[in-house]
Structure formats: C-alpha cells, structure tokens
Amino acid sequence: MRVFLSVLVLVAAAGAGIAYVQEAQPAWYERLRYPLSYDHIVVGHAANYDLDPALLAAVIYRESKFDAGARSSSGAIGLMQLLPDTAKGIAVHTGGSRFRVADLYDPEINVRYGAFYLRRLLTKYGDMRLALAAYNAGQANVDEWRAQDKGIAFAETREYVDSVLKTREIYAHAYRQELGLGQ
C-alpha cells in the first residue's frame, strides 16, 4: 500500500508539472511545440515586404508546419501553401519570366512569393484579420463578406485567423532573437 501511495504521489506531481508547463508555456516548451526553420529566409523576406517576421513564421507554421514539400489536396504547394496559379501571377508581378510549379518546393521562392502575397493582402484590406482571412479563404470571399458587412463568414476561416494570431504571439515570444524582434 505504501508503494502504491508513493507512486500515486509521483504521478500527481508529474501531472501538476506537465499542467504547469502547458499553462505557463515557457520559451523552451514553445520551441519544442512550434519549431522554426528557414529563419534567415523568413527574416529576409519579412524585411523585404515590411512584414512582422513572427506573423510570417506563424502563417508558415499554420500552412505547412515548415514542411517545404507539403502539398494540399487542393494543390497548394510548399511552406506557404501557394496555389500554382496564384504563384504564377506573383512571379509575373515580381519580375519572374520562367515560372515552374516545381519552384514552389524551393523554400526561398515559396516564402518570397508568400510574403509578397501577404503584404499585398495587408495593403488591400488594411486589417490583419481580413488579410489572413483572404489568405485562407480567398479574396473573393472576403470581398463578398465585406460588401454584405458579414465579418468572416466561414467558421473554419475564423479558426484559421485566430490560430495564426495566437501562433504569431508564440513565435514572437519563443524566437524573439532569431526573428530580430529585439529584447
């Protein structure tokens, strides 16, 4: 009985410790749960397109969890899950002349195109939530919602926006130095 009580106390203490870590989310825990890859690419293109690098990292995490080879069932490709038609248009706007779908698997190109697109959406909508909604659900949907004064009509898109914004805070806290966010 004594051994049983000792084990029970240890299990309770371990559970309390795990609960504390999940609640407090120290930076080391956030780094384990939310990895950051390609930070030099993220920081470079964030600076290039006047974006918050933590926001750019959060979009990448939400879209692909930093898997450069990711491909969705809808055909979106790479770190920022860009559709080939969208990327082809971005390539033309950014001076590209030989776009190939395979280019979207290149982290540098994918993040450059995705950062360009995110900047364009932020400029168009002047609102981070609407820009993120357009990134997820498309500009036509957001334009329709705005015209009808509906807010973000899709529950999935509201969840996406909330998730990206929460993840942005985590990246800003856990990777402050790597993302060049100062002290």
Q: Report, as residue numbers or ranges, the catalytic residues.
A: 63
Q: Which residues contact 55 (CB under 8 A, 6 or more apart)?
A: 46, 118, 128, 164, 168
* Closest among 105, 102, 27 to 64, alpha carbons compared: 105
Rg over alpha carbons for the chain, rounded to the nearest Å, is 20
The pair of three-digit structure tokens given for residue 123, joined into one six-digit string = 């400029």
Distances (CA, A) of 99 to 42, 122, 135, 164: 21, 24, 21, 29
- DSSP 8-state assignment for residue 52: -
